[in-house]
Amino acid sequence: MILNTLPKEDGFRMPGEFEPHEGCILIWPHRGDSWPYGGDAAKKVFRELVRLISESEQVTVCVPPSEYDKARDFLPDDTELIQVETDDSWARDYAPTFVKKGNITRGINWCFNAWGGDYDGLYDYWANDDNLCPSLCTHENVDMYDAHHFVMEGGAVHSDGQGTLITTESCLLSPGRNPHMTKEAIEETLCNYLGASKVIWLPEGIVNDETNGHVDNICAFTSPGHVVLAFPEDKTDAQYEPSKKALDVLRASTDAAGNPIEVHLLPMPKPCLVTKHELDGLDLLNGEPVRTVGERLAASYANFYIANKTVIVPGFDDDNDEVARRIIAELFPDRRVVTLQSREVLIGGGNFHCLTQQIPKAE
Amino acid sequence: MILNTLPKEDGFRMPGEFEPHEGCILIWPHRGDSWPYGGDAAKKVFRELVRLISESEQVTVCVPPSEYDKARDFLPDDTELIQVETDDSWARDYAPTFVKKGNITRGINWCFNAWGGDYDGLYDYWANDDNLCPSLCTHENVDMYDAHHFVMEGGAVHSDGQGTLITTESCLLSPGRNPHMTKEAIEETLCNYLGASKVIWLPEGIVNDETNGHVDNICAFTSPGHVVLAFPEDKTDAQYEPSKKALDVLRASTDAAGNPIEVHLLPMPKPCLVTKHELDGLDLLNGEPVRTVGERLAASYANFYIANKTVIVPGFDDDNDEVARRIIAELFPDRRVVTLQSREVLIGGGNFHCLTQQIPKAE
C-alpha cells in the first residue's frame, strides 16, 4: 500500500541504528567513475563488510543484472542477491528509510536527486537510484509512505529512536534539496516522517564531503543520550572549525526527552588525499564533477555500521584507527567492534555507513 | 518481490485490453502547463471518464496530496484515491504494465524519461512519474519485474494477448529511448517482458504526436486478428502517408499464430488546432517545449479505452465522431460503445487511452 498518512500520526518511529535489525541492504559497487580499476579493490572490502554483517544479520545486496554472475560468485552463499538497476552503491541514501511500530515495518520513499540535482548533484542521471526505494518496498512486502515531494537521503539524518534527530544545515538547507521550504518546514517534515519531536541542527559535516556534509560522516548516536563526534586534534586543520561548531551545538542541546547529550570525541585520521593512480583508474563520464590529485577525501571514523553483534569501523591505515576503535568499543560493551580498512571504499565518496541500510527488527 | 527472471520464461503474458479487467488506474489532471485554466474543463471530462469506467470496473485515481481534498469532493464516492506525487497524468505510460499467469498478476517497471529524456523529452523533471510504477506495485501488492534498464511507456505497445505486439519505429527507435540497443534487441526485450513472440513495427504514429508517435494513438487491437487504424480520407492530409504505410505493414503481416490481421479503418476528425485562448490558459514552466497557435493536435478515434462493459471513444465535436463510434461498436458487439467529448483532454497531449491503465483480472 502507498500510505497517505504521516508515520508520526500513525505511531511509527525510526529506531536507533543500535536497536535490533532484521537485516541489512547494500548495493554492489559497480559505477565506473566511483570505483577505480573496475572496482576490484572496492569489491574485496565490500565482501568483507558483507561477511562481517552476515555474522549477525541477513544481508541483501542489490546487483545490476549485468553484474549478477560476478557478484553471485564473489559474495558469501548466504547473501541474498536482488537483481535491480542502480546508478551507484549508496544504500544508506536511497534504500528505504524504515520506520516501525510494534511488529509492523514500513518504508519511506524520499525523493533522491544525487545530492543536489541540477544545482550541485554528483551525477547527471539518478533515476535508477530514485527508483530503488519503492522497488525495495515491493520486494520487502512493506507498505510505503510517499514522501517523494521531499528531497532527502538516509545519510542526512540520525535518530536516537526516542524522538531526537540530528542533521546538518549544510545539507538539508542546501539549494539543491528543498529550496522552496523553510528550515521550520523541513524540521516538521523530518519529525512527521520519522516519528520524532526534536531536530538538532549541526552547521556542517566533514570538509569536502560531496553530500553537502551528511551528518552520518561526522556524528552518530551510540545510544540515547550519547553521540560520537569526529574531532581533529590539530586546531589548524580545516575540519577543526566545523567540528568545534558541531560540538558547541551538541553541548548546548538536550534531546527530545529533555536530557543533555554526552559527546564522545573521535580522533580523525591524517588527511587522506586522492592519488594520481587512483584517479587514473576511474572511468569518467562526461560532465561529472572531477576530483584532482591531492584532493582530501572525507575520511571519518564516525561512518561506522552498527550490526546486531558487531560494529564495523572504517580504518585508514592510520595510528588513530585503533584509538577510534577503542573509543567506540567502550560505547558498545555488548558488541564486537572491528576495524576494516576502507581506503578502497572511501575513494568512492563514502564509507561503511553510507553503503548500508538496516531493516529494523519487528517486535 | 523484485523479480530477476523474465515474464516470458515464467509463463506470464500481457493480456489484450479486451480481456477482463480487475480495475483501472488513472491520475488526476493537475499539471499547469498541460491543462489550461487550472484544468477545470479537463477535470470535468476526467470525472465523466471515471464514471463511465466505474460502471464496470473499480477505478483507482492517483492524486498529488495537495489536490486530494479537491479530487475527493469532485470524483465519484466509489473511486479509490491514492495520494502520491506525479508530474503529469498519463497513467498508460507510467503506471505498471501488468502481465498475468492464471491467478497471478505482476507489474513491469520500465524506465520512464518523459518521452525522450534530454534528447526530446517533454518536461525537465519526471522523477515522480518514473517512481509511480514501483510505488503502485507496492500499493497493489504485486511482485514486480525490474525492467528499469529499458526506456518504455505503456502507450508504446499494444498486445493481442496471444503473442503479438504492435509498436512504432518512430517511438521505440527514437534516440531519446534506448539508443544503444538495436531494433532486434528492443524486439527481444519487448517479447521477453510481455510474453510475446512477434512484434509488428508500424513506421510512424499520428502526426505531431508528442510521444514520438505512440502506437496507441493510431492503432488498437479489438480482438485477436482484428485492429482498427486511424486513416484519413483526404490523400493530401499530412496523416495520409503515415497511415498508409501502417496499413501496408499490417496487411503484409501475420500475427504470432500465423493468421492474417484484418484492418478496420477509422476515419479521422477534421484537424484540431490549438487556439490562442487555450494557450493563454497554460501555466508554462521555463524550458518546456511550447505549442504555437494553430498547431495541430494529435486527435484520433483510436485512443479509446476498453472497459469491461463499455468502450469509451474520444469525440472531437466532428461529424466523424458517430461514424467512428459505429465502426468500433460493430467490433465490440458485447459492449456499449459511447462517445465522450475529449477536446479538453486532448489539449493536454493525449486522450482516454493515455489516461488509463487496466489491471487485468486474475482468473
Closest alpha carbon within chain B to A65 = B4
Q: Which residues of B touch A136 (CB under 8 A)?
A: 2
CB A324 within 8 A of CB A266: yes
Q: Which residues of A touch B96 (CB under 8 A)?
A: none
Q: Which residues of B touch A116 (CB under 8 A)?
A: none
Cβ–Cβ contact B307 with A under 8 A: no
**Residues listed for chain A:** 363
**Would you give the distance in Å from CA B110 to the centre of its chain?**
14
Cβ–Cβ contact A285 with B under 8 A: no
A338 min Cα distance to partner chain B (Å): 33
Task: Determine whether the interchain pair A144/B136 forms a contact, defined as Cβ–Cβ distance below 8 Å.
Answer: no
Cell numbers at residue B163, please? 503473442
A139 min Cα distance to partner chain B (Å): 3
CB A333 within 8 A of CB A321: no
Amino acid, res. A210? E
- DSSP-derived pairing of the beta strands B21-27 and B357-360: antiparallel
Interatomic CA distance for residues A356 and A58, integer angstroms? 12
- Mean per-residue pLDDT of chain A: 95
Task: Determine whether the interchain pair B111/A130 forms a contact, defined as Cβ–Cβ distance below 8 Å.
Answer: no
Give backbone dihedrals phi and psi of A175, rounded to 5 degrees, phi first.
Answer: -60, -15
Task: Indicate the residue of B1, B138, B149 with minimum beta-carbon distance to A1.
Answer: B138
Task: Determine whether the interchain pair B128/A139 forms a contact, defined as Cβ–Cβ distance below 8 Å.
Answer: no
Cβ–Cβ contact A192 with B under 8 A: no
- Residues A1-33, buried b or exposed e (16+ Cβ, 10 A)? ebbeebbbebebbbbbbbbebbbbbbbbbbbeb
Cell numbers at residue A120, please? 550541485
Closest alpha carbon within chain B to A143 = B138
Residue B286: predicted pLDDT: 62
* Nearest in space to B50 (alpha carbons), one of B69, B33, B72: B72
Residue B362: predicted pLDDT: 86
pLDDT in tens, chain A (363 residues): 899 789 999 999 999 999 999 999 999 999 888 888 889 999 999 999 999 999 999 999 999 989 999 999 999 999 999 999 999 999 999 999 999 999 999 999 999 999 999 899 998 889 999 999 999 999 999 999 999 999 999 999 999 999 999 999 999 999 999 999 999 999 999 999 999 999 999 999 999 999 999 999 999 999 999 999 999 999 999 999 999 999 999 999 999 999 999 999 999 999 999 999 998 888 876 655 577 889 999 999 999 999 999 999 999 999 999 999 999 999 999 999 999 999 999 999 999 999 999 999 988
Cβ–Cβ contact B146 with A under 8 A: yes
CB B25 within 8 A of CB B356: yes
Task: Determine whether the interchain pair A2/B128 forms a contact, defined as Cβ–Cβ distance below 8 Å.
Answer: no
Closest alpha carbon within chain A to B107 = A138
Cβ–Cβ contact A148 with B under 8 A: yes
Q: Which residues of B touch A65 (CB under 8 A)?
A: 4, 146, 149
A84 min Cα distance to partner chain B (Å): 6
Task: Determine whether the interchain pair B131/A109 forms a contact, defined as Cβ–Cβ distance below 8 Å.
Answer: yes
Task: Indicate the residue of B68, B131, B143 with minimum beta-carbon distance to A131.
Answer: B131
Task: Determine whether the interchain pair A4/B68 forms a contact, defined as Cβ–Cβ distance below 8 Å.
Answer: yes
Cell numbers at residue A211, please? 553530500
Task: Indicate the residue of A83, A111, A137 with minimum beta-carbon distance to B138.
Answer: A137
- Known catalytic residue at B354: yes
- Residues 64-93, chain A, touching B (beta carbon < 8 A): 64-65, 68, 82-85
Cβ–Cβ contact B136 with A under 8 A: yes
- Counting DSSP H helices and E strands in chain B, the numbers are 12, 17
Residue B151 bridge partners (DSSP): B111
Catalytically active residues of A are: 354
A21 min Cα distance to partner chain B (Å): 20
**Would you give the distance in Å from CA A18 to the centre of its chain?**
14
Q: What is the pTM of this model?
A: 0.84
Tally Cβ neighbours within 10 Å of residue B175. Answer: 11
Cβ–Cβ contact B10 with A under 8 A: no
Task: Indicate the residue of A113, A138, A149 with minimum beta-carbon distance to B134.
Answer: A138
B173 min Cα distance to partner chain A (Å): 21
CA distances from A195 to A22, A109, A154, A190, B345 (A): 20, 15, 15, 8, 41
Mutate to test the interface with A, among B131, B142, B152 (most CBs of A within 10 A): B131
Mutate to test the interface with B, among A138, A140, A141, A285 (most CBs of B within 10 A): A138
Low pLDDT (below 70) residues in chain B: 285-289
